[in-house]
A and B are shown apart, each in its own frame.
Chain A
Amino acid sequence: MAGKGGVGKTTVTAVLAHAAARAGRKVLVVELDGKPTLDALVHDADSSPDTIELTSISAPDALDEYLRENGFARVAKRLQRTGVIDIVGTAAPGIDDVVVLGKIKQLERSGDYDLVVVDGPAAGHAITFLSSASGLADAVRAGPVKAQSDDVMELLTDGDRCQVVLVTLPETTPVNEAIETAYALEDEVGVALGPIVVNGVDRGARPPDDVDELLADQPDGDAQVLRTAAAFRRSRQDMEAREIERLGASLPLPCLHLPALPVAGISVADIDRLVEAFTASGRR
């Protein structure tokens, strides 16, 4: 899952995981930021019969594990304690991203899950993160890091195993960024793109333009209050429709829509509504 900050990437990650679990698949959700939000959205749904596993991968832990598995078991602790690891990371930039991707590849290969959903790294770093393996190949030409990079590249460029789902909002700047990110991911990483998820779409009825007749019997103040609220909605809906159309015209990818909910923060109860909408949107 990839998307710029503020588009609801974590919410959509949870929705997609629940939708897959309800379709009978064994799902693992991987989060990379140490965010507590995802845990609540995935696990606190008592009412939900979904079984979803959640795991958190941090670069230092993944590196430690990697060292232990590659013949550095005796010195792994000392390497970390003396800060040598930081210097290795400096000498071979992207090595921390590659070990994280390597760990994800390992989980994917374990056969324990039908689907692994990764809540991608924070705002804007998705391209850097995913191109770490090919970037590292330029600097590193031998050794286990090279082998690791190759394995990761194989996973990322195999459309049957791995797809990137871009999340965006029906607004000008997020749509521009989704289009730019889509092309960059294809060109720089060679990864296959799944459907685009447009989050926060106002799916309500369009308030009629001409309300004077409807409101003729209302006190003037009330009529004006309703008119103002309706005008605000219409102009937002018009903009959303324009942007969704432009997104469709710019990227030959299927689009799924998730409705806007009238809340500032998504709760576990809201996830259910979104999963239904998501599943319905996918069927159409």
Chain B
Amino acid sequence: MAVDAMTLTDTIDHSTLLLTCGPGGVGKTTTAAAIGVAAANSGRRVVVVTVDPARRLADALGLDDGAAADEPHQVDGVGADEGELWALMLDDAATFDRLVREQTASEEQAEAILNNPIYGALSRSLAGAQEYMAIERLHQLFVSDEWDLVIVDTPPSRNAIDLLGAPDRLVAFLSNPVYRALTVGQRTFARVTNAASSMFLWAVRRLAGPQIVEDTVAFFRSLTTVEEGLRRRAGEVRELLRADETAFVVVSSPRAEAIAESEHLIGALRDDDFPFGGVVINLIHPLPEQLDPADRAALDDVADGPLAEHLAWHDELTELAVSEREELAGLAELADDVPVVELPLQDTDVHNVDGLLGLAERLAP
């Protein structure tokens, strides 16, 4: 039985958690914000979590220099009925700190972790920490029950599974035999007898000096107090990301490299049973209307000078627009069971709420 094709509006209405993902430079954050505008204008209370918005978009969302990081700010001029749009710029370190405080039994335990120099370095620059924090913040907002829809603009990631697998990787790290041996409760690392951890300590000491060994062991020891909580949280996030009311929207541009990444991403989402809810093709060149072939032949005979330039440009724009649509054929096939929406290339980037309203109207008319 044929059913009406899903639209992106259906996907948005159906979700309580929506993640935009895709390659860098395709307008993911702008798309996430525009989806938020559409949902707020249909009467829902929405928060958009972004990682690193371009300055002008940040201005449009009220996330300019005066705004405190990691706190939601209401976006003016958006929302109908009870609907509101709020935006929040992710602060990795603050999110990690909050997680540690939540998961420790006492202030003293929390301080032991937060004041360790290894913790400082880890929460700032550990590869994948930003991804993990985006997921963690999403969970915090989702369970707060304050929002009808949480939208997360994911950090650009060549392999989105890096992002989605972040909680599992943390658990795998905590399950490492070396980590376990370091944290079984010996009073000093000198008495650690496990062969792997001895080797670890020896290697770290020789590579990086003795101070870092003490810091590392102390850090891992203090981390045991939050380990149980982190494991439980990773399990909850794993379920949340695969829930029925969760949707992943892949954003791509029509450039070959971006398309290849997006195709890879869609395959990975499907392989791991993440709910894939739609595709937005941003920045596509408009396909110009075509001239009547008989007129065109006549024009080629007479045209020179500026008129010939007009014709040449019309041909070039057509060639580019067609080339983009050809590149997109494979992606469209991969996404033939979900809505695909195109947003045309414009002559300026989105820098105010009006621009977002215009995009929202195209995404979810």
Chain A positions within 8 Å of B, measured between CB atoms, are 4-7, 10, 33, 37, 70-72, 75, 78-79, 82-84, 86-96, 122-124, 128, 132, 135, 138-146, 171-174, 176-177, 180, 204-205, 207-208, 211, 214-215, 218-219, 221-222, 225-226, 228-230, 232-233, 235-236, 238-239, 262-266
Contact = CB atoms under 8 A, between A and B. Distances in A.
A164 B296 CA distance: 48
B25 to A, nearest CB: 2
Q: Give the interface centre of A173, A204, A232 by most chain B CB atoms within 10 Å.
A: A173
Q: Give the interface centre of A10, A87, A89 by most chain B CB atoms within 10 Å.
A: A87
Contact of B310 (A33, A79, A89, A211): A211
26 contacts: A6-B255, A33-B158, A71-B206, A89-B127, A91-B215, A122-B156, A135-B125, A139-B118, A141-B211, A145-B208, A146-B208, A172-B56, A172-B348, A172-B349, A173-B55, A173-B57, A176-B54, A205-B309, A214-B307, A221-B292, A222-B295, A230-B310, A230-B314, A233-B313, A264-B256, A265-B256
B178 interface: yes
A139 B121 contact: yes
Contacts of A91: 118, 204, 208, 212, 215-216, 219
B316 A228 contact: no
Contact of B127 (A93, A174, A177): A93
B319 A264 contact: no
B313 A229 contact: yes
A29 to B, nearest CB: 17
Contact of A86 (B26, B173, B196, B324): B173
Given A91-B118, A176-B54, A265-B256, A204 B313 contact: yes
Nearest to B256: A265
Interface string B187-223: 0000000001001100111111111100110010000
Given A91-B216, A139-B212, 10 more contacts: A78-B196, A79-B200, A122-B158, A124-B24, A176-B56, A219-B292, A221-B292, A225-B291, A229-B288, A263-B319
Nearest to A214: B307
Given A93-B126, A238-B347, A214 B317 contact: no
Interface residues of B, number: 77
Contacts of B288: 225, 228-229, 232
Q: Give the interface centre of B199, B254, B257, B295 by most chain A CB atoms within 10 Å.
A: B257
B115 interface: no
Interface in B105-157: 117-118, 121-122, 124-127, 156
Given A204-B316, A207-B313, A230-B313, A87 B207 contact: no
